[in-house]
Homo-oligomer: A and B are copies of this chain.
Amino acid sequence: MVNLPLRISFQQTTKTAPYLCTMLSISNRGNRMPPSPIRKLVPYAEAAKKRGTKVYHLNIGQPDIETPQQILDAVRNSDFKVLEYSHSAGNESYRKKLTEYYSRAGINVSPNEIIVTTGGSEAILFGFMSCLDAGDEVIIPEPFYANYNGFAVEADIVVKPISSNIESGFALPPIEEFEKVITSKTKAIVICNPNNPTGYLYSREEMEILKKIIVKHSLYLFSDEAYREFCYEGVHFSAMHLTDVDEHVVLMDTISKRYSACGGRIGALVTKNKAVLQTVMKFAQARLSPPSFAQILAEAAVDLPANYFEKTKAEYKLRRDTIIKRLNDIPGVFCPNPGGAFYAIARLPIDDADMFCQWLLESFSYQNKTIMLAPASGFYGTSGLGKNEVRLAYVLNVDAINSAMDCLGKALEEYPGRTVET
């Protein structure tokens, strides 16, 4: 369904084959389901740690920033007696509070236009399932968040990637590229803004271009805005700020990165489209309710002092400035300056990022340290793209980033698969 590297499908078939000798079989959907793009690197990271090598994890978006004490305390000081199901759409008190949060972001919604989900993941899945049928298509600028592939397989829909490229800093592909892949089966465009994995922040002009496309072709715009607060160049222009397209826009949101609360598993699907809300609500009722503890935390988070995001953003900006400078100072490395989120994609002077990332963990160390990176190929829908690119998550402090960049510089000098600088 999704255009995955052949290698992955093949590995999977090989692994499950021994169990096919009984008639009990795994579904084709299950076989098609993509494994995590970094999963195959995990055993190498574990082995490196066992050898006593320190591994800097730049491969995942798990921030080291502390969850604000006062929102953890909201849970720790709670005094209910029964851990009950919440409303399937989330506690009403939380949804009311969320409207204040959205209002401050210039997004005017009512509590009934919000369905609280189990992480942003569930918002994406519910959106796909409610608006698309098997075989329907979504267009996603690539590279994109790899788990969109998984949710597409779950919903049995087809991802049509259109390529953004590192030379343009991963800007929105031109309108013609969208129109080339639009068919009668195209139902939606998915964007992540600011973007994971590129860090690209879409401009107002780009958002207006998307508006033209969704109106002309009657498409939904699914907008994943998990990193809304983390914009370092310019301001965030939400899909919900677009006028006259209320029926088209479905916001997928999460508190995971915003408050360093990934384990809470609280997200939201927000839209003014009543038919979508009614439909998503049926999916929400089937799974009964989102987690209760973390709804308390999320509700308290709306009352964090106004300077909370300023401080967090300043910290991430410092890390971004550090990592981008350090990357571009390494001979043969190119990394565009990301406008937001906490990711960057860098092009390295290497033959194959999958092999390089494995080599870093298996065969390299510098001062008994190494780094774990995510090969960018896992974020492209088109096979063969991103082969010499990696994604770096700047979720570590500046000292750790500097040490990690020392490692990367040394590694690129030593790596046997280094390519000639271009």
Residues of chain A whose beta carbon lies under 8 Å from any beta carbon of chain B: 15-16, 18-20, 22-31, 33-36, 39, 62-67, 72, 75-78, 81-86, 88, 118-119, 121-122, 125, 129-134, 136, 147, 150-151, 154, 156, 187, 218-220, 247-248, 260-265, 273-276, 278-279, 282-283, 285-294, 297
- 8 smallest CB-CB distances across A and B, nearest first, come from A263-B292, A150-B286, A23-B218, A19-B275, A293-B293, A30-B279, A291-B291, A121-B287
Q: Chain copies in the assembly?
A: 2
CA distance A413 to B76 in the complex (A): 50
* Cβ–Cβ < 8 Å partners of A247 in chain B: 19, 22, 24
Is the beta-carbon distance between A289 and B275 smaller than 8 angstroms? no
Q: How far is the CB of A83 from chain B (nearest CB, A)?
A: 4
Give the contacting residue for A291; candidates B25, B78, B118, B129; CB below 8 A. Answer: B118
List 20 contacting pairs A-B, 8 Å CB cutoff, sorted by A: A15-B275, A16-B275, A22-B218, A24-B219, A26-B275, A27-B279, A29-B130, A29-B134, A30-B130, A30-B283, A33-B129, A34-B282, A36-B88, A67-B83, A75-B293, A118-B118, A119-B288, A134-B156, A150-B285, A265-B290
Is the beta-carbon distance between B121 and A288 smaller than 8 angstroms? yes
Is the beta-carbon distance between A27 and B130 smaller than 8 angstroms? yes
* Cβ–Cβ < 8 Å partners of A39 in chain B: 285
Known: A16-B279, A83-B262. A286 touches B154 (CB 8 A): yes
CA distance A215 to B134 in the complex (A): 32
Q: How far is the CB of A212 from chain B (nearest CB, A)?
A: 15
Q: Which of A64, A219, A262 has its CB near the most chain B CB atoms (within 10 A)?
A: A262
Q: How far is the CB of A62 from chain B (nearest CB, A)?
A: 6
CA distance A289 to B67 in the complex (A): 17
* Cβ–Cβ < 8 Å partners of A84 in chain B: 62, 262-263
CA distance A155 to B300 in the complex (A): 36
Is the beta-carbon distance between B289 and A263 smaller than 8 angstroms? yes
Is the beta-carbon distance between A82 and B118 smaller than 8 angstroms? no
Is the beta-carbon distance between A283 and B150 smaller than 8 angstroms? yes
CA distance A188 to B14 in the complex (A): 24
Known: A76-B77, A154-B283, A292-B264. A16 touches B83 (CB 8 A): no
